Amino acid sequence: MKGFETWIGCISPKEMSTSRKNGSPGSRSTDARYFLKQSLSTPCLNALQGCEGIYIEDLQGRRYMDFHGNNVHQVGFSNPEVIAAIKAQLDALSFCTRRYTNRVAVDLAAKLADIAPGNLNKSLLCPGGTEAIGMAMKLARIATGRHKTISMWDSFHGASLDAISIGGEALFRRDMGPMLPGTEHVPPPDEYRCLFGCHDRGGCDLTCARYIEYILEKEGDIAAVIAEPIRSTPYIPKAEFWQTVRKACDRHGALLIFDEIPHALGRTGKMFTCENFAVVPDMLVIGKGLGGGIFPLAALIAREDLDVAADRALGHYTHEKNPVACAAALATISYIEKNRLVEHSAELGRIALGGMKTMMDRHPLIGDVRGLGLFLGIELVKDRSTRQRASEEAEEVMYRALSKGLNHG
């Protein structure tokens, strides 16, 4: 492909030859030999040997600004304060056996209760976001006595079977056989490509929100609406959308669960994304950057009155209260607060979005720009009137960016 050839041209023929011949540990060829192949992970773009701040570094010593980072780098890669906290905790208490607790885990739960909006005061920890979504689904069933859910097409909540059942990406669902029963799906609040045609009526008129209430009313026994408050592509709905859905859930006895795994902890200019919409969910799921981009850690944060499953096992994970992971999370939150990264994200995002709008004036390939804090997106189209996606052009942009030292996908 043309874009790949453009990027790969920055690797010398000698480096390519040596890599293929030696298959050195950590190389792309060695990776393919030992790892099962799967979409989105293979083939690898390259092999890394370092990461620091906003940069990743490959085996050839080239550094790239990483605008992707798997959404884990709110405090930058290899943050020295997070690393110091991890090292100190390793010397103090490196593991906590199940059915015991520890000071660091309790401190983290208390901190999450302190910074979370509304009355989200109770937490459960687990190693990853997918598991936290699973715990939220189970708690919703227990709390409501119902099992049905409403989620969105094009959404992503993890790759396990329960998570792809509520997820909406064909890449994860196709040919996987029966999904969980009762998982209803609705179109996402994507104003630019609204399935209900709101862009032809001058903008979002909340038809998509009313459709959610229509399903809540007709089904009558929905346990929860589970959604990302903004989508990573990104879709950024009006505040009125979530406010309307919040009221609809209350009217029909359904819980509202927000998946903020990719963008909580300041990326949108607020500590939690839902704060941009003045809506408090019944449960909030966070992860990815919670462990400082070093330790895998996620949390389910729920309303205090949803603490109703003392006789059930919602998660029961081996590393549920891992003190080292919790130390990393506390150091991450402390760094965000101390350095006012939430406010910085809001201001820098405002400047960046203004620059993106200026770019749109110059480049017909750009169909739309949107963002919330530093959660930013540029949509490329072949024609602004038809809004036909420019997929090939987007791929070439990605590889050209790599050739200039920018990783963004």
pLDDT digits (tens, 9 = 90+) for 360-378: 999 999 999 999 999 999 9
Q: Which residues contact 5 (CB under 8 A, 6 or more apart)?
A: none
Contact between residue 280 and residue 274 where contact means Cβ atoms under 8 Å apart:
yes
Q: What integer best gives the mean pLDDT of the chain?
A: 92
Token representation of residue 326:
């919790």
Count of structural domains, the chain? 2
**Terminal alpha carbon distance of the chain:** 17
Angle between helices 323-338 and 103-115 (to 10 degrees): 40
In this predicted structure, which of 28-37, 117-126, 279-288, 299-308 has the lowest mean pLDDT? 28-37
What would the mean pLDDT of 309-334 be, rounded to a whole number? 96
Question: What is the C-alpha to C-alpha distance for residues 377 and 356, in angstroms, rounded to an integer?
Answer: 9
pLDDT score of 41 = 86
pLDDT at 17 over 50: no
For residues 158 and 32, membership in a common domain is answered with no
Tell me what pLDDT residue 13 has: 41
pLDDT tier, 9 (very low <50, low <70, confident <90, very high otherwise): very low
- 254 shares a domain with 216: yes
Residue 201: pLDDT above 90? no
Residue 128 lies in domain: 80-338
Domain end marker among 303, 338, 373: 338
What is the average pLDDT across 74-91? 98
Residues 88 and 68 both lie in one domain: no
Do 87 and 221 belong to one domain? yes
Q: What's 323's domain CATH number?
A: 3.40.640.10
* Domain-ending residue, one of 312, 338, 364: 338
**pLDDT value of position 6:** 45
Same domain, 319 and 362: no
- Could you tell me if 284 and 375 lie in one domain? no
Residue 409: predicted pLDDT: 67
Comparing CA positions, the residue from 395, 408, 390, 404 lying closest to residue 3 is: 395
Do 47 and 130 have their domain in common? no
Backbone angles phi, psi at 51, to 5 degrees: -155, 140
Distances (CA, A) of 24 to 17, 29, 33, 85, 350: 12, 8, 11, 33, 44
pLDDT at 21: 46
* pLDDT band for position 4 (cuts 50, 70, 90): very low
For 235-261, the DSSP string reads ----HHHHHHHHHHHHHHT-EEEEE-T
The pLDDT tens digits for 87-123 are: 999 999 999 998 999 999 999 999 999 999 999 999 9
Cα–Cα distance for residue pair 187/382, rounded to 1 Å: 23
- pLDDT for 25 equals 58
Task: Reply yes or no on whether the pLDDT at 12 is more than 80.
Answer: no
For 47-66, write each residue's pLDDT tens digit.
Answer: 999 999 999 999 999 999 99
Confidence category of residue 68, pLDDT binned at 50, 70, 90: confident
CA distance 55 to 36: 27
Clarify whether residues 225 and 174 are in a common domain.
yes
Instruction: Note whether 219 and 292 are same-domain residues.
Output: yes
The reported pTM is 0.93
Q: Which of 338, 368, 398 is the last residue of a domain?
A: 338
Asked whether residue 2 carries a pLDDT value surpassing 60, the answer given is no
Q: Residue 255 pLDDT more than 70? A: yes
Same domain, 271 and 137: yes
Using the predicted structure, report yes or no on whether residue 20 has a pLDDT greater than 50: no
Same domain for 376 and 262, yes or no, is no
CATH number, domain at 42? 3.90.1150.10
Based on the fold, state whether residues 127 and 146 are members of the same structural domain. yes
